[in-house]
Structure 1
Amino acid sequence: MRPLYCKLTFRAIIRELRIAWGFINNDIWDTIMPSLLIFITSCIFNGRSWKDLMIPILISLTYAVLYIYTFCISNQIDGIEEDRINKPYRPLVTGFVTMKETFTRMYAYNFVYLVYALFLGLFWYSLAWTIISYYLNLGGWSNHWISKNLVGMTLGTFILFNVQWQIALQPEQVISYRTQAYFAMMSIWAGFALPIQDLRDVAGDLKGGRKTLPIAVGDRKARIILSIHYFLFLPAIFLCAMLTMVPLKEVISKPLNISIFIIQMIVHWLVAYRLLVYTTPEADHRSYLLYVLLFCAAIPMVCVLKS
């Protein structure tokens, strides 16, 4: 009897891990990886000893998984119809889990997430993310590109910066106002860049009744708007993020600082060019990934600026 019980338990655990992976596997590069990079950047920035980081890095990873898993569950409940077109491999669409099971997991994992956050001293940020996730996915915010990207994703990124940075700190350390300003500008930069991802998902978003930027103004006009945005405004916001840590004089006088600014500007301009020239969903996805790589590469920038 006992071997059978162990076998069934093992199968249940494996199935649960497969379900979790099915929900979050699209978000490894744009959520899990940035989370760990923020944590590592905080360790370097604050002079944390690497020999003491085994437990904190596990905390960082498990928090990041719960952060994105709780979001993805409600997101995929709300977006099942467009996922049938855009992402037909997802668990709800394939029938790997039922809608009833998914709602049960949504409640259970949100409870686990908030209890875990309370234990870590991150409850209020995590509660804010739970509320934002609810309004984004089940409250209609994701139906419009302004509330989805400019508001929801900006706030979500700001929360992620704060919690992952905090996980790396010693108990006596706090996040400075200047660092908070850096988080704010980086979050605005990220949130205002994200309408790019909606270019690849128009067919599914139309079925789901969403009003993303390309649906609201038309594909060609959206590409022109986003190209101008990537050519001018996003590099300017990135510069503002740099200026929260160092004055303009140091940005333009130090070779490493000016190199960072020039490289990010070139990448932004490359994305702007791609949006106008390469217009298939596959090309749009690659353009989005190019921005994600820039975002990940930019996270440790604060350590360079500090030095």
Structure 2
Amino acid sequence: MRNQPHALGHRARWFGELYGNRYGRRRGNALIAWVLLEVRITTRMMGDNFPAAVVPPALFTGAACVHYQTSGSTTLLRVATSALLFFAFLYVFDASNQARGLEEDRINKPYRPAPAGLTTTQGLRRRFWSAMPLYTLLGWATGTLLWALLWQAVIVGLHLLSDPRFYFVVKPPAMQIGIICQTAAAWQLVAPLDRTGWTWALTTGIGYNIAMIFEDVRDMDGDRRIGRRTLPLLIGHWPVRIWFAVVLSGLPFALYILLFAPSGADVTATAVCTLVVTAMNWTVAARSLLRRNKRADRATYQLYGLAFGATLGCGLVLL
């Protein structure tokens, strides 16, 4: 009998460890499943716009580091911070946009999280409102709060308050403000905006933004379904395609005159940057005219984002 309490105690500890481990595993498995689900939702939510919204400003932050000759470790830290900041920049945009655009996405982009059944529009709204204060905090911590608040105001106006019938009037200036928020904040992560920073931010921001209306060519069926009025629906997709191709075809000349040649870089670096940017822009322009279906237009838009990124990335060798 003396050994009974010990035996019972040992058995109790054994059962406790057994069920505790199982419960711990269940909790661990649930956490892993939740993380994987959020990664899947985020990937599908942000995949379309990632090349245009996160890659270019991160490269521009790197260009600012080169311009100010920061150390290697500081450059890596600034670029990583830039990627995180613009991840949040895009997250709040896409979450709010897709929370409002379920019917459109069912037709245009059924792989997105809400039409794919990975979450609901209410779930996207919760993610949006949860991410907004985090994005504000990031803006404050990185010294880019003004640009973060301006971008948040644009998102609220465009996705929460604007009438879809007047989307073609509201969207272009909203996107112009957004792209300036991108480039200005990317440079300001390193140093205050000087003449060089403003020249690059405004030239690239305005140049690539006036071509951005091509984005709406991909979404004509869904926009028509929900009553959203965009330029391709008002004037047809061909005028928009031609405008897009003309702008991207001429843009390398403007970039060379306004940015590349005055940079003071050696002739070889200037020539290589000019050729790369010209080849990318002209390829995108040609695709917009020759490859005309939803899948091709989606790829063309993503290549357009990469061309924008390549242009800002030229600052790494020219500044």
Global fold match (TM > 0.5): yes
Match of 1:147 among 149, 161, 170: 170
* Correspondences of 1:56-205 after superposition (within 5 Å): 56-140=78-162, 144-148=167-171, 150-167=172-189, 169=190, 173-205=191-223
Deviates more, 1:16-25 or 1:100-109: 16-25
Shift of 1:67: 1.0
> Deviations 1:14-59 (Å, cap 9, x if unpaired)?
3333332232122332222223212222222221111334543432
Whole-angstrom distance in 1 between the partners of 2:45 and 2:131? 13
Whole-angstrom distance in 2 between the partners of 1:277 and 1:54? 40
Q: Which runs of 5+ in 2 are unaligned?
A: 1-19
Whole-angstrom distance in 2 between the partners of 1:235 and 1:132? 29
Shift of 1:272: 3.6
> Deviations 1:87-141 (Å, cap 9, x if unpaired)?
1011111222122222222111101111222222221110111111122222327
- What residue is the counterpart of 2:247 in the other structure? 229
- What residue is the counterpart of 1:300 in the other structure? 313
Shift of 1:186: 0.9
Deviates more, 1:36-45 or 1:72-81: 36-45
Whole-angstrom distance in 2 between the partners of 1:178 and 1:102? 39
Aligned letter for 1:216?
Answer: L
2:275 aligned with 1:257, yes or no?
no
Aligned letter for 2:78?
Answer: P
Whole-angstrom distance in 2 between the partners of 1:153 and 1:54? 28
> Deviations 1:248-268 (Å, cap 9, x if unpaired)?
xx79x9454355445544544
Whole-angstrom distance in 2 between the partners of 1:119 and 1:84? 38
The answer (yes or no) to whether the contact 1:246–1:305 under 8 Å persists in 2 is no
3-state SS in 2 of match to 1:63: helix
Shift of 1:236: 5.3
Aligned letter for 1:291?
Answer: Y
The answer (yes or no) to whether the contact 1:132–1:156 under 8 Å persists in 2 is yes
Whole-angstrom distance in 1 between the partners of 2:285 and 2:44? 32
The answer (yes or no) to whether the contact 1:185–1:240 under 8 Å persists in 2 is no
Whole-angstrom distance in 2 between the partners of 1:224 and 1:28? 25
Aligned length: 296
Whole-angstrom distance in 2 between the partners of 1:271 and 1:11? 39
Give TM-score, length-normalised by structure 2: 0.80
Shift of 1:189: 1.1
Aligned letter for 1:289?
Answer: Q
CA change 1:238–1:205 in 2 (3 A) is: farther
3-state SS in 2 of match to 1:138: helix
Match of 1:285 among 288, 298, 305: 298
CA change 1:53–1:177 in 2 (3 A) is: closer
Deviates more, 1:297-306 or 1:127-136: 297-306
Whole-angstrom distance in 1 between the partners of 2:315 and 2:117? 44
CA change 1:58–1:209 in 2 (3 A) is: same
Match of 2:289 among 270, 276, 291: 276
User: CA RMSD, aligned part only?
Assistant: 2.8
Whole-angstrom distance in 2 between the partners of 1:175 and 1:212? 34
Match of 2:233 among 215, 226, 229: 215
Q: Which runs of 5+ in 1 are unaligned?
A: none
**Greater RCO (Cα-Cα under 8 Å, separation 6 or more):** 2
